[in-house]
């Protein structure tokens, strides 16, 4: 959270959560009234979310905001974390990579470390509520605490892409997951035909009131531009992403080089670099090499917790790119669309849920495709404006935190009705 003085200087405050009434200004009173009506229909009021960290990462971020909103709606909502140690987190990181890439990289020791720490958590942490949301693989083993003689509902909420998992890790987890009442995935193609429990689609969301997305004074945006030596008068093309091959930063530079030979513009590739991610360092080095000698390509290392600066860079952009070749959901796309930016993005993961090609942005498959679309939008600002406007409407309708809250409430009700609908409807077209 931050406060600004008139000159765009910023005084940092701890991040804060918001009341539902504050969201009414954005999504309308009716959505808030609907949330209250639906929550009032939930008879089993206690709900607990469990994941593996209180800080860092998108899951913690959304639980930090969602839990108080559930409480405000009259639910007895809480959030717990399991404890881990180094060997446990090494194991779960290996599982994460194996599940997302399909690579057989897991050792027997990883499974043993996971089971040992899970047993400790089962001993030390009591998970007890009418509805239990277990987030991601790390706490999946907590299902052993399910009270078999009760009406408890346990839901496994998967935030990662398990469409092509390493079979050893997937079958290890499927033993846990099949004991749940239901599972939730972020995109239709992440669902699993071999699960024996109902699967629901609930896309992630962004918080329009968070520092990453809220309105900013122009004076602050200007300060960020001058901090990074960016020229406000030239078109600015931006991709904000971890330095990761999946985000195709080299492809972004190649596409930009094609466009900038016709239209003078600037490229920002901004992202963070974790010391413990050797691949990130390698990708960053390759990006620097590809940008060598180019004053119009700005490779920015953005420290963690720079939400306001990321917000400002997205807002200052003429076009936002997310040229991923593999993606989970792609929250940066929703973030940019919410700022009414025309977005050109890879047709992968959850991105096609957010972008209807030619209506709320452009989907691309190649460097040449990205270059063609960039060139077209720079030459046709009226089209860029329309894509941005429609993109924002789409995010307002489908990808704000209030919609995710609504989906969770509906799921809690749906699981206790006989007429269970296994897959929730895909996003609505505004
Ligand atoms: N992000 C950030 N700093 C960076 C790069 C990205 O805070 O240097 C944020 C970005 O704004 C978004 C999230 O991290 O909110 C990335 O989510 P996304 O789903 O786009 O990709 P992921 O990194 O999870 O693959």
> pLDDT tens-digit profile of 280-336?
889 999 999 999 999 999 999 998 889 999 999 999 999 999 999 988 899 999 999
Same topology between domain 20-205+400-414 and domain 218-398: yes
Q: Return the minimum-mean-pLDDT range out of 33-42, 43-52, 397-406, 417-426.
A: 417-426
CATH classification code of 20-205+400-414: 3.40.50.2000
| pLDDT range class, residue 61, cuts 50, 70, 90 | confident
Domain 218-398: what homologous superfamily? Glycogen Phosphorylase B; (3.40.50.2000)
Pocket perturbation via mutation, ligand 1, pick of 310, 327, 341, 343 by most ligand atoms within 8 A of CB = 310
Residues 333-359, buried b or exposed e (16+ Cβ, 10 A)? bbbbbbbbbbbbbbbbbbbbbbbbeee
| pLDDT range class, residue 170, cuts 50, 70, 90 | very high
Query: What residue owns the CA closest to ligand 1's atom 21?
Result: 330
**Strand pairing class (199-201; 236-240):** unpaired
Ligand 1 centroid, distance to 324 Cα (angstroms): 12
Ligand 1 centroid, distance to 10 Cα (angstroms): 22
End-to-end CA distance of the chain: 30
Question: For the chain, which residues make up each domain, given as ranges?
Answer: 20-205+400-414, 218-398
For ligand 1, residues with CB inside 6 Å are: 58, 212, 240-242, 271-272, 302, 310, 328-332, 335
**Is the CB of residue 99 less than 8 Å from the CB of residue 166?**
yes
Ligand 1 atom nearest to CA at 314: 11
Q: What is the pLDDT of residue 159?
A: 93
**Is the CB of residue 44 less than 8 Å from the CB of residue 50?**
no
Give the pLDDT mean for 212-217: 96
Pocket perturbation via mutation, ligand 1, pick of 241, 317, 336 by most ligand atoms within 8 A of CB = 241
Helix (H, G, I), strand (E, B) or coil at 322: strand
Q: What is the pLDDT of residue 5?
A: 65
Give the pLDDT mean for 244-249: 92
| pLDDT range class, residue 14, cuts 50, 70, 90 | low
> CA-CA distance, 329 to 322, in Å (whole number)?
11
Ligand 1 centroid, distance to 43 Cα (angstroms): 37
Pocket perturbation via mutation, ligand 1, pick of 15, 57, 58, 224 by most ligand atoms within 8 A of CB = 58
Q: What is the pLDDT of residue 428?
A: 53
Looking from the CA of 392 toward its CB, the CA atoms found within 13 Å total: 15
Count of Cβ atoms closer than 10 Å to residue 40 Cβ: 11
| pLDDT range class, residue 425, cuts 50, 70, 90 | very low
Output phi, psi for 103, to 5 deg: -85, 140
| pLDDT range class, residue 55, cuts 50, 70, 90 | confident
Q: What is the pLDDT of residue 303?
A: 87
Ligand 1 centroid, distance to 331 Cα (angstroms): 7
Give 334-354 pLDDT, tens digit per residue.
999 999 999 999 999 999 999
pLDDT above 70 coverage of the chain, percent: 93
Average of per-residue pLDDT values in the chain: 92
Ligand 1 atom nearest to CA at 240: 5
Pocket perturbation via mutation, ligand 1, pick of 161, 243, 244, 332 by most ligand atoms within 8 A of CB = 332
């Amino acid at each position: 959270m931050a406060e600004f003085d008139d000159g765009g200087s910023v005084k940092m405050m701890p991040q804060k959560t918001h009341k539902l009434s504050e969201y009414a200004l954005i999504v309308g009173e009716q959505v808030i009234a609907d949330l209250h009506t639906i929550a009032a229909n939930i008879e089993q009021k206690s709900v607990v979310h469990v994941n593996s960290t209180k800080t860092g990462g998108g899951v913690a971020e959304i639980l930090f905001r969602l839990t108080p909103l559930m409480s405000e709606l009259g639910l007895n909502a809480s959030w717990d974390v399991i404890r881990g140690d180094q060997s446990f987190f090494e194991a779960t990181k290996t599982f994460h990579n194996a599940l997302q890439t399909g690579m057989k990289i897991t050792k027997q020791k990883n499974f043993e470390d996971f089971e040992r720490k899970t047993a400790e958590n089962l001993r030390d942490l009591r998970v007890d509520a009418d509805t239990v949301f277990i987030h991601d693989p790390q706490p999946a083993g907590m299902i052993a605490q399910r009270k078999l003689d009760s009406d408890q509902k346990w839901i496994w909420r998967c935030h990662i892409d398990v469409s092509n998992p390493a079979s050893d890790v997937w079958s290890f987890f499927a033993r846990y997951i099949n004991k749940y009442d239901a599972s939730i995935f972020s995109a239709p193609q992440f669902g699993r035909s071999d699960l024996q429990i109902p699967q629901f689609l609930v896309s992630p969301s962004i918080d329009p009131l968070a520092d990453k997305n809220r309105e900013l004074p122009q004076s602050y945006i200007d300060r960020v531009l001058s901090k990074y030596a960016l020229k406000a008068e030239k078109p600015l093309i931006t991709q904000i992403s971890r330095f990761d091959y999946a985000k195709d930063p080299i492809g972004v530079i190649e596409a930009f080089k094609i466009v900038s030979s016709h239209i003078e513009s600037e490229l920002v590739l901004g992202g963070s670099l974790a010391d413990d991610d050797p691949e990130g360092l390698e990708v960053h080095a390759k990006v620097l090499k590809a940008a060598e000698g180019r004053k119009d390509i700005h490779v920015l290392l953005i420290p963690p917790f720079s939400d306001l600066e990321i917000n400002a860079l997205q807002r200052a952009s003429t076009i936002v790119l997310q040229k991923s070749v593999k993606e989970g959901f792609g929250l940066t796309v929703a973030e940019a669309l919410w700022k009414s930016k025309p977005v050109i993005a890879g047709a992968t993961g959850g991105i096609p849920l957010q972008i209807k090609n030619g209506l709320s942005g452009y989907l691309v498959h190649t460097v040449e495709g990205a270059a063609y679309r960039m060139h077209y939008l720079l030459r046709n600002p009226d089209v860029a404006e329309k894509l941005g406007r429609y993109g924002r409407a789409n995010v307002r309708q489908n990808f704000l935190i209030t919609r995710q809250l609504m989906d969770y409430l509906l799921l809690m009700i749906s699981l206790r009705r006989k007429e269970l609908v296994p897959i929730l409807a895909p996003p609505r077209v505004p």
